[in-house]
Amino acid sequence: MTAAPPVIVCMGVSGSGKSTLAAALAASIGAKYIDADDFHSVENRQKMSAGIPLTDADRTPWMQRVIDHLDRLHSPCVIAHSALRRAHREQLRRQSAATHFLFLQSDPDDLRERLRRRLGHFMSPALIDSQFAALEQPDDEADVTVIDAGNAPQRVLADALRAIEEYRNAS
């Protein structure tokens, strides 16, 4: 496999499998794994646990903490990040000359069920609709590859590895 881009972003709404894919992908390609959820404030986590959607004002300091961390990184990484807003994707792009987004496309009903079964996470299943409402589809963004999140994790990983290879070969 050719070298992966310095920053690979596994993006999508909560419950789509971003963290699972990003961790497996980082291990597969020898990159650092980062979970953007680790940069949320206590207040943001409390809001999401209570089923209260985050506002853009809530997301701004979170994004700045993520960007600051990426600025200090000097190695390839795979980051699990919702990247729901185009503006957030643009901020992430500015961190690296080569950023590739893997958009885990999902069905809202499937995600509600996944979130109901998920233990120990702060995101309330009640927020799925607000996540989809906040999502600005990356349809015309050349550095975004869509991956079906409804597949088994092994298939999603294989699709991601193939997408990275194809993206690198086309660049």
Domains for the chain: give ranges and CATH numbers. 7-170 (3.40.50.300)
Residue 56's pLDDT is 87
User: What would the mean pLDDT of 23-42 be, rounded to a whole number?
Assistant: 95
State how far the Cα of 157 lies from the Cα of 23, in Å rounded to an integer: 10
State how far the Cα of 149 lies from the Cα of 29, in Å rounded to an integer: 20
User: What would the mean pLDDT of 28-33 be, rounded to a whole number?
Assistant: 94
Q: Who wins on pLDDT, 141 or 124?
A: 141
Burial of 96 (0-12, 13-18, 19+ CB in 10 A): middle
- CA 38, chain centre distance (Å): 12
Whether 68 shows a pLDDT value over 60: the answer reads: yes
Handedness of CA 53, 119, 14, 75 (dihedral sign): positive
| Of 142, 118, 20, nearest in space to 78 by CA | 20
Q: Which residues contact 140 (CB under 8 A, 6 or more apart)?
A: none
Residues of the chain with pLDDT > 70, as a percent, come to 88
Q: Who wins on pLDDT, 21 or 52?
A: 21
Tokens standing for 136? 């600005």
| pLDDT tens digits, one per residue of 71-100 | 888 788 999 999 999 999 999 998 866 899
Average pLDDT, the chain: 87
Q: pTM for the complete prediction?
A: 0.86
Amino acid, res. 1: M
| Of 40, 22, 46, 15, nearest in space to 118 by CA | 15
- Residue 108 vs residues 98, 101, 149, 152, 161: alpha-carbon distances, Å: 31, 20, 11, 17, 25
The confidence band for 109, taking pLDDT boundaries of 50, 70 and 90, is confident
Residue 2's pLDDT is 43
- Residue 144 vs residues 1, 46, 62, 74: alpha-carbon distances, Å: 19, 31, 22, 23
